[in-house]
């Protein structure tokens, strides 16, 4: 039996991986019972925290732990005001990022430790863990440069440098195992989506169909009523 009436679905991945586009497409496919939201910034207070966190004017010298706590504060507000109420009323949530971004960005790339960041988030944010998580793989360096150039001026975290983003990508590459090997996150069904087939970037509709097929499989495996 499903443990919730509504599904909590999450998209994750590094910069310019296409997760926001895919989150929007899946939300549209599910229809009116799905709420599209995001971290950081999916609440009124969160929008202000997002501005502090991402504005290049904040500067590069924010203490790493402060950054982790501000992400967690945003998440706490997001859980209380958006995710939990929607799940409680039986709706579906599609979230563009979750605590898993904190494991990759603050835990792995800033070097605070993925376990430490998981502990912090589980202890302090009223965290609900997603039922189904899609990790979008890394796009090629060439594709990423084209996409980032189209986004315009990089935000504070996008501008963190190549080594930082390599560590983020490596952490997401290990994430299926990281989550499966911890009793606190093992219930999350996590799928990793490769961006290329035979060396060619998959297009947006193909990625969408692949994600939908994985969601259908998940629902069949767990006897959950499929939302699509």
Residues lying near ligand TMP in the complex (CB under 6 A) are found at 39-40, 54, 71, 97, 101-102, 105-106, 157-158
Least distance to ligand TMP, CB of residue 85, Å: 19
- Our CB check for ligand TMP shows the closer of 86 and 101 to be 101
Coil vs helix vs strand at 190:
strand
In Å, what is the CA distance from 156 to each residue of 16, 159, 221? 15, 5, 41
Q: How far is the CB of 22 from ligand TMP (least distance, A)?
A: 12
Q: Taking the mean position of all CA atoms in its chain, how far away is CA 28?
A: 18
Give residue for tokens 């590094």.
14
**Are β-strands 132-136 and 189-193 bridged in parallel, bridged antiparallel, or unpaired?**
parallel
Residue of closest CB approach to ligand TMP: 105
- Which lies closer to ligand TMP via its Cβ, residue 140 or residue 151? 151
Report the nearest approach of ligand TMP to the CB of residue 49 (Å): 10
Give the whole-angstrom CA distance, residue 142 versus residue 150. 13
The dihedral built from the CA positions of residue 67, 70, 55 and 61, taken in this order, carries a sign that is: negative
Query: For residues 36 and 54, which CB has a smaller minimum distance to ligand TMP in the complex?
Result: 54
Question: Shortest gap between Cβ of 179 and ligand TMP (angstroms)?
Answer: 15
Between 97 and 208, name the residue whose CB sits nearer to ligand TMP.
97
Determine the length of the chain.
Answer: 228
> Per-residue DSSP letters for 70-103?
HHHHHHHHHIIIIIHHHHHTT-EEEEE--HHHHI
The rounded distance, in Å, linking the Cα atoms of 20 and 158 is 15
Instruction: CB nearer to ligand TMP: give 38 or 132.
Output: 38
CB of 165 vs ligand TMP, minimal distance in Å: 9
For 154, the token pair is: 């990089």
Q: How far is the CB of 208 from ligand TMP (least distance, A)?
A: 18
Q: Which is nearer to ligand TMP, 25 or 219 (CB)?
A: 25
């Amino acid at each position: 039996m499903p443990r919730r009436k509504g599904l909590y679905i999450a998209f994750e991945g590094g910069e310019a991986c296409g997760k926001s586009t895919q989150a929007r497409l899946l939300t549209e496919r599910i229809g009116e019972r799905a709420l599209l939201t995001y971290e950081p910034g999916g609440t009124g207070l969160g929008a202000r925290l997002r501005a502090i966190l991402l504005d290049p004017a904040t500067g590069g010298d924010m203490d790493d732990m402060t950054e982790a706590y501000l992400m967690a504060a945003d998440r706490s507000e997001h859980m209380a005001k958006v995710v939990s109420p929607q799940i409680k009323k039986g709706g579906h949530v599609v979230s563009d990022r979750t605590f898993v971004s904190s494991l990759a960005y603050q835990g792995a790339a800033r070097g605070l430790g993925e376990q430490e960041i998981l502990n912090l988030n589980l202890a302090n944010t009223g965290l609900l863990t997603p039922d189904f998580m899609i990790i979008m793989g890394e796009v090629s360096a060439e594709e990423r440069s084209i996409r980032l150039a189209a986004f315009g001026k990089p935000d504070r975290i996008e501008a963190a440098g190549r080594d930082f983003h390599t560590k983020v990508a490596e952490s997401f590459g290990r994430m299926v195992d990281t989550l499966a090997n911890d009793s606190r996150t093992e219930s999350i069904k996590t799928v990793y989506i490769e961006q290329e087939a035979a060396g060619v970037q998959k297009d947006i509709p193909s990625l969408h169909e692949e994600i939908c097929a994985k969601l259908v499989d998940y629902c069949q495996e767990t006897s959950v009523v499929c939302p699509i």
